[in-house]
Structure 1
């Protein structure tokens, strides 16, 4: 069973197995074994790891939490980021490049995906490989978007970013498997689904999206959180207005 918590913590610190191994003083293959299994390192090694990754032992190995109740071997919550901007470029790129079947996005703008992570060429490449894309962006004329811009103290700015994103996405509307819709719903959370991985970017009143915390969830057979947020995606998708080429 892979240790997704450790992998995500490494991505958050922009560390590879090789660079982490050098810092801890072990062989890179040892780090790879930690990632690919639930194997727990010795106490001294765990102390070095948690100091480098700036996490607690229980964040990486729940069985060490000293809980009197049984601790599940897997949790939907892979990692909690204090803000969207705390996710490293390597973290975003790993999620984007790793998509094999489906990517779903619910945002108002999301233009950072194009401008920082080259989303449009990736959509072209992945769509040719059979990946399905469902991309929900805001309707810049809707009351929800206009009010959100006022709350963020950037009136007109968000509307412009949405128009820019819609223009970007117009270049891939003709591709098979790529669907883009606009919506005017209140955006309680931005959602980024990459196959069985889901980033939930909650929104606090008056704060910019990049300043708000992000939960990284992993899809599990009986996982309730994943289903909870994906049901909200489906509800917005059902009322979204399809963009046409």
Structure 2
């Protein structure tokens, strides 16, 4: 079976077999076998290719590392665990937002705390104008999933939907900005995801608690890691099932 992930990653970056062969110092036919026959490159070659295509090794070659090694790398991906999301220092959010240049991906219900930052929406617009990909996923305020979560968090039926609508009002200026996409989802949200290039904050959700009072993980992407990639793939799944935000 061909390695379609590797093929797609190369195409996305505008790279061909010769580019990879020169970078890895191997024969062109060797690279072709890595793709068409899904042959597994040596670790040094996997590192080189992953860096070239800006993907993790674990994504390109899911079976390359034994489970024990994946577990070890996974521990290293966790920078810090916070007992509550509101315990994350303001300085960390400032750095993550200011340093992101390639992509910002956010999966929330409302994420109202983000727009409490005076320049957040303008920062996203500027990043998009400079070539970053901005993808924002909000809970559909009219969905039964949002109503149910609002009740589970003991907020009352309409409260969370109202918060989402309040948050969306701040994002209106982004609707006309190229490079920014806003969508609604109707998923059961187990975690909120905040990705800034190769770093991510995961706000877990705990039944009966609001997000601000639930634990959060600060993750850093490692080429051979699995944790960051798991949440990234989850975001992609929700994105594929979402619809353009109409507000």
Q: TM-score, normalised by structure 2?
A: 0.68
Distance 1:142 1:180 in 2: 16
Match of 1:237?
A: 239
1:75 matched to 2:76? The reply is yes
Q: Summarize the Cα distance change of 1:108–1:101 in structure 2 as closer, same or farther, 3 Å threshold.
A: same
Residue pair 1:182, 1:241 contacting (<8 A) in 2 also: yes
Q: Which has the higher helix share?
A: 2
Which runs of at least 4 in structure 1 moved beyond 2 Å after TM superposition? none
Is there any run of 5+ residues in structure 2 with no aligned partner, and where? 1-71
- For the residue of structure 1 that corresponds to 2:177, the secondary structure is coil
Which of residues 228, 231, 235 in structure 1 aligns to 2:230?
A: 228
Cα distance, 1:193 vs. partner? 0.2
- For the residue of structure 2 that corresponds to 1:173, the secondary structure is helix
Distance 2:245 2:173 in 1: 11
Most deviating of 192-201 and 166-175: 166-175
Q: How big is each residue's C-alpha offset from its partner over 1:13-67, in whole Å with a ceiling of 9 and x where there is no partner?
A: xxxxxxxxxxxxxxxxxxxxxxxxxxxxxxxxxxxxxxxxxxxxxxxxxxxxxxx
Q: Summarize the Cα distance change of 1:207–1:117 in structure 2 as closer, same or farther, 3 Å threshold.
A: farther
Distance 2:243 2:165 in 1: 15
Match of 1:211?
A: 213
Cα distance, 1:244 vs. partner? 5.3
Cα distance, 1:243 vs. partner? 2.4
Which of residues 179, 182, 186 in structure 2 aligns to 1:180?
A: 182
Cα distance, 1:118 vs. partner? 2.9
Distance 2:172 2:225 in 1: 35
Match of 2:25?
A: none
Residue pair 1:190, 1:201 contacting (<8 A) in 2 also: yes
Q: How big is each residue's C-alpha offset from its partner over 1:64-96, in whole Å with a ceiling of 9 and x where there is no partner?
A: xxxxxxx76x81111111110001111111111
Is there any run of 5+ residues in structure 1 with no aligned partner, and where? 1-70
1:124 matched to 2:129? The reply is no
Cα distance, 1:116 vs. partner? 2.9
Residue pair 1:93, 1:117 contacting (<8 A) in 2 also: no
Match of 1:46?
A: none
Residue pair 1:108, 1:138 contacting (<8 A) in 2 also: yes
1:154 matched to 2:155? The reply is yes
Number of residue pairs matched by the alignment: 175
Give the root-mean-square deviation of aligned CA atoms. 1.8
- For the residue of structure 1 that corresponds to 2:168, the secondary structure is helix
Which of residues 161, 165, 168 in structure 1 aligns to 2:167?
A: 165
Residue pair 1:109, 1:165 contacting (<8 A) in 2 also: yes
Residue pair 2:139, 2:146 contacting (<8 A) in 1 also: yes
Distance 1:226 1:176 in 2: 27
Q: Summarize the Cα distance change of 1:141–1:160 in structure 2 as closer, same or farther, 3 Å threshold.
A: same
Distance 2:110 2:120 in 1: 13
Cα distance, 1:117 vs. partner? 5.3
